Amino acid sequence: MKMTVSKAMVECLRAEGINTVYGYPGAAICPFYDELKTAEKDIRHVLVRHEANAGHAANGFARISGKPAVCIATSGPGATNLITAIATAYADSIPVICITGQVNTDQIGSDVFQEADITGAAEPFVKHSYLLKDPNDVARVFKEAFYIAGSGRPGPVLIDVPMDVQKMMIDFAYPKKCEIRSYKPTGKGNAFQVKKVIKALSEAEKPLICVGGGVYAAHAQAEINQLSKLMQIPVVTTMMGISTFPDDDPLFCGMIGSFGIKAANEAVNECDVLFLVGARVGDRAVSAPMTLAKTTTIIHIDIDPAEIGKNIGTDIPLVGDAKLVLEQLLEKAQPMKHDAWIKQLKAMRSQYKPVKTPAGTVDPKEFVIKLSAAMPANTNIIADVGQNQIWTCNNYKFKKGGRLLTTGGMGTMGYSVPAAVGAKMADPKRPTVAICGDGAFQMSMMELATAVQHGVDIKIVIMTNQRLGMVRELQTIGYGDRQTAVFLDGSPDFIKLAKAYGIDAMRVDGKGDVDKAIDMIVTHKGICLVEVVVDDMFPTR
Amino acid sequence: MKHTISVLVENHSGVLSRISGLFSRRGFNIDSLAVGPTHDPSVSRITIVADGDEHTVEQIEKQLNKLIEVIKVKTFAKDEFLARELMIVKLTVAPEKRSEVMTIAEIINAKVMDVTLTTMTLEICDTYAQLCRFEEIIAPYGIIEMVRTGTVAIEKGSDTLRAKNN
């Protein structure tokens, strides 16, 4: 069918089942926006207030929908603003399609107004990118982009489209399949290696499963839960693997890492076989991986061969899609018992005892624990970055079907509010709470307008301590408490700010109001904001 | 340790920058990189000589393979490949020294490409090590300009590195 490239781009999105896009227009992407207008009944465009947040919103959407999501920006600064979001998606392997406008083909390379080499600039952070110079490539490029973003180890794919190309006429047909000779992600695991894994797990006395974000990428939550239960193998998770196991699962030991819980880290040190599933053993998760590998049998499943052996020596490598590999393992797995080992781990887990906090402040950990008790099982919790992230990760007791979203790899401040907008829109039935600090919130508070404009019912918790708390703690511990550039003086009154956007809000600065605030988060119809006042010296762990 | 790696890539613009960017951002050391077309116009072939231990070369291979446009990567086993590099070198040579330089060139299998009253330009195509030796021998005559292509290599015997078409 004859049509413009812009129209073809819209048709590509439609063919991929895209019903929501996040973006910010500009001159170089106007032809495409003009066509989006025509398709607005099917494809809802959400105007963010900063391009990075379009990327984060798409990130949240992709993680909840389990499929690639789309963000759009114009050329030059619009595109470069997207880079942090692209890098964030790359570090966490989230499938995001980024469409950017580019200056006219004949102007590329001549430093014209709003020109930036975005494919070049974003190269280190994309799974793949395209500069669409030939209008006849549009269908193939979109088909490939969606396939690449969503398959194998997922990741962001960038499509940069010059303005003149957007206006050209082509003969359009969307391909049903795409074949890329140089890209064939592994599906099932090698049968011989699968046998070896079963043997090692069966012979282990103190086996331990470590679940990473790859389990979510492969949609393998059910399979890993089954395997753990059948073989009675205790489980720890990385930050990206949190919520794959309900907190009350008797086999679950918590999050590992430099900010993880003691019981989980001790489990890693004590186990004789460590079974890593979709976890890349980042430096924040395991501080001395090579030492660990000397004393422990390491089994490593990952769909990305490059992750196997990169950070930790592996005894039994197994490349494949976590879901398919776990299915293979489940076929062969026999019921087992590790009662003594499970008992030993259980003894290490301790109940949190709230700390006495100065008057006018709230214990943030206790707040998170109480919030988790009150929220329905299917809640999305979007943790930002900083102390608030660790308080949330270690204390929110996820139930079956709950979901944590956070930026584990890149640690991008300001992620929570826009990602919550995306997550909520991907599945409006799921209650969605963004938890952030007063530092991170001020990096993306402009997105309150986005949520209001589009009626996105998110709840926002801001833990305020007038500090960049995690850096403050770093300075306290590592730099003789010389607190530098961590003071957030000049911050607005967040309650008044929320009200300026027409958002209901309340402040909690003492124990008495905690229940009231939590009740507001649980029952309030529509977007609301709760400020939780926290002591500036409250520890992260 | 030096490793010689052959990489078949899609003949697209931007591929080389993806590959060189990968080496720099992951801290892999390149000694040389040579790229050119192959008998299949859709495929280019890159030969990289890189320095690093086994773990590094394993990561180089794996990270290269992650690039969508990389079709095939092969690190050659020691002594299992044929390698050549081209060097062109311009020397200051006074007329009375010409024959001396020509004798050296002949012995070492270099060719004279150009002569002027004060200079000679030589070419040599050989292994990296042989080129280095040649450079050492002619250096005393005064090298004023030098250019090398970087190593290109192919496997010994009948095995081939080929791109499968869909």
Of A31-45, A82-96, A116-130, B149-163, least confident by mean pLDDT is: B149-163
Which residues of chain B form beta strands (DSSP E)?
2-10, 29-37, 43-51, 70-75, 81-92, 111-115, 119-126, 143-148, 152-155
- CB of B78 less than 8 A from some CB of A: no
pLDDT digits (tens, 9 = 90+) for B25-37: 999 999 999 999 9
Query: What is the rounded CA–CA span in Å between residue A469 and residue A463?
Result: 10
**Rounded percentage of chain B residues whose pLDDT exceeds 90:** 93
Residue A167 CB burial class (10 angstroms; 0-12, 13-18, ≥19): middle
pLDDT of A477 over the 70 cut: yes
Q: What is the CATH number of domain B2-75?
A: 3.30.70.260
Q: What is the CATH number of domain A191-348?
A: 3.40.50.1220
Burial of residue A114, with CB atoms counted within 10 A of its CB: 0-12 exposed, 13-18 middle, 19 or more buried: middle
- The stretch B86-114 carries a mean pLDDT of 95
**Mean per-residue pLDDT, A139-155:** 98
The helix (run of H) or strand (run of E) holding residue A532 is strand A528-533
Burial of A122 (0-12, 13-18, 19+ CB in 10 A): buried
Q: Which tens digit of pLDDT belongs to each residue from A58-79?
A: 999 999 999 999 999 999 999 9
Residue A306 near chain B (CB below 8 Å): yes
Q: What is the DSSP string of A197-215?
A: HHHHHHH-SSEEEEE-THH
Range with lowest mean pLDDT among A230-244, A275-289, A406-420, A474-488? A275-289
With CB atoms and an 8 Å threshold, state whether B17 touches A123. yes
- Averaged pLDDT, A331-354: 91
pLDDT band for A482, please (50, 70, 90 cuts).
very high
Find the CB nearest A180 among B55, B65, B68. Answer: B68
Extract the tokens encoding A101. Answer: 């406008």
Flag whether pLDDT at A276 surpasses 80: yes
Chain B residues whose CB is inside 8 A of the A305 CB are 62, 65
Q: Residues B122-159: pLDDT tens digits? A: 999 999 999 999 999 999 999 999 999 999 999 999 98
- In this predicted structure, the answer to whether residue A301 has a pLDDT above a threshold of 90 is yes
Tokens of A57: 């919103």
Indicate the pLDDT class of residue A292, thresholds 50, 70 and 90.
confident
Model pLDDT, residue A354: 85
| Structural contact between residues A365 and A391, judged by C-beta atoms closer than 8 angstroms | yes
- The answer to whether residue A245 scores a pLDDT higher than 90 is yes
Q: Which residues of B touch A183 (CB under 8 A)?
A: 68
The size of chain B, in residues, is 166
Q: What is the pLDDT of residue A312?
A: 87
Name which of B40, B66, B71 to mutate to probe chain A: the one with the most chain A Cβ atoms within 10 A of its Cβ.
B66
Which residues in chain B have Cβ-Cβ distances shorter than 8 Å to A306? Answer: 59, 62-63, 65-66
**Residue type (1 letter), A352:** Y
Q: Residue A119: CB partners within 8 Å, gap ≥ 6?
A: A129, A130, A131, A158, A160, B14
Opening angle at CA A256, ends A254 and A261, nearest 5: 60
Question: What is the pLDDT, as a whole number, of residue B163?
Answer: 79
Q: Is residue A16 a contact partner of residue A146, using CB atoms and an 8 Å limit?
A: yes
Mean pLDDT for chain A overall: 96
Give just the sign of the alpha carbon dihedral A354, A357, A360, A365. Answer: negative
For residues A178 and A146, give the distance between their C-alpha atoms in angstroms, rounded to a whole number.
10
Query: Token match 């070492």: residue?
Result: B108
Question: Which B residues in the span 137-166 are in contact with A, Cβ-Cβ below 8 Å?
Answer: 163-166
Q: How far apart, in whole angstroms, are the C-alpha atoms of residue A235 and residue A527?
A: 35
Distance from CA of B20 to the nearest CA of A (A): 11
Which tens digit of pLDDT belongs to each residue from A109-133?
Answer: 999 999 999 999 999 999 999 999 9
Contact B34, B46 (CB under 8 A): yes
HEC per residue, A18-70 = CCEEEECCCHHHHHHHHHHHHCCCCCEEEECCCHHHHHHHHHHHHHHHCCCEE
Residue A473 has pLDDT above 90, yes or no: yes
Kindly tell me if the per-residue pLDDT of A104 is higher than 70.
yes
The tokens for A408 are 């584990």
Torsion angle, alpha carbons of A517, A61, A498, A375, to 10? -10
Chain A residues in contact with B63 by the CB 8 A cut-off are 306
A93 touches chain B (CB under 8 A): no
Domain assignments of chain B as residue spans, ordered by start: 2-75, 84-152
> Which residues of chain B are within 8 Å of residue A181 when distances are taken between CB atoms?
71, 163-166
Q: Please provide the CATH number assigned to the domain covering B84-152.
A: 3.30.70.1150
Determine the pLDDT at residue A329. 97
Superfamily of domain A364-533: Thiamin diphosphate (ThDP)-binding fold, Pyr/PP domains (3.40.50.970)
- Identify the band that residue A541 occupies on the pLDDT scale cut at 50, 70 and 90: confident
Q: Does B69 touch chain A (CB under 8 A)?
A: yes
- Domain residue ranges of chain A, discontinuous segments joined by +: 2-171, 191-348, 364-533
Beta bridge partners of B33: B48
**Cross-chain residue pair A304–B66, CB shorter than 8 Å:** yes
Find which of A131, A181, A308, A312 to mutate to test the B interface (most B CBs within 10 Å of its CB): A181
The two structure tokens encoding residue A394: 């270690």
Asked if the domains at A2-171 and A191-348 fall in one CATH topology, the answer is yes
Q: A345 and A234 in contact (C-beta within 8 Å)?
A: yes
Residue A405, H or E segment: strand A403-405
Tell me the nearest-neighbour CA distance from B38 into chain A, angstroms. Answer: 17
The residue of A182, A302, A304, A312 whose CB has the most chain B CBs within 10 angstroms, and thus the best one to mutate to test that interface, is A182
Name the minimum distance, in Å, from the CA of B144 to any CA of chain A: 35
CATH topology of domain A2-171: Rossmann fold (3.40.50)
Interface test with A, best of B10, B68, B71 (most A CBs within 10 A): B68
For residue A451, the 8-state DSSP code is: H
Euclidean distance between CA atoms A197 and A202, whole angstroms: 8
The shortest C-alpha distance from A403 to chain B (Å) reads 29
Asked, colleague to colleague, whether B2-75 and B84-152 share their fold, the answer is yes
**What pLDDT is recorded for position B165?**
63
From A123, A148, A310, residue closest to B21, measured CB to CB: A123
Between A289 and A458, where is the model more confident? Answer: A458
**Number of C-beta neighbours around residue A42 at 10 A:** 11
